[in-house]
Amino acid sequence: MTAVPGPHIVLVGPPGSGKSTVALALGERWQLAVRDTDSDVEATAGKAITEIFVEDGEPAFRALERDAVRVALEEHDGVLALGGGAVLDGSTQELLAAYGAGGGTIVFLDVSLAHAAPRVGFNQARPLLLGNPRAQWQALMEARRPVYERLATVRVLTDGHRPADVAELIEQELAVLRRGEGTPS
């Protein structure tokens, strides 16, 4: 838990890792406001992410996403969940690295394909997973995993865990950090 300006904690990870639901569990547990940059993008655009992709293209979505992350890091002091691909933007990486270097906590919610598949459902609401969704998810993870790992303060595997259980695992990892008992998972 951090006293730095900005969010109390930032959650990153791939589609199906549970960022939004774990954010809600942490917010409830810690009595903090919860913010999700995907929701911010939809509110700004006035339409669903899938519509932004179809009507405006991925570059337009990524620009909206970059702005949403910047604003949330500046304004929000609760639990913040980022869209899965937000970390791929260079300026977003810089903002997150600065937030982390300043004492902020970034949690990489990791998940295997076997556990992500039923959560995501690989449906039409995930524009980057169209075609062969399992292969697309694997390719996304290959590109994103090094960034998630580099930016993260801690990593928590969500496979087989309910959101409340993941929130508890995050608390345990943060306690290890506070005690200085070595590197958390």
**Mean model confidence pLDDT for the chain:** 87
Question: What residue has token string 């002091």?
Answer: 77
pLDDT > 70: percent of the chain: 83
Residue 60, C-beta contacts closer than 8 angstroms, at least 6 positions apart = 52
Q: What is the mean pLDDT of residues 23-52?
A: 95
Output the pLDDT for position 150.
96
Q: What percent of the chain has pLDDT over 90?
A: 64
**What pTM does this model have?**
0.87
Confidence at 78, pLDDT banded by 50, 70, 90 = very high
Residue 64 φ/ψ, nearest 5 degrees:
-60, -40
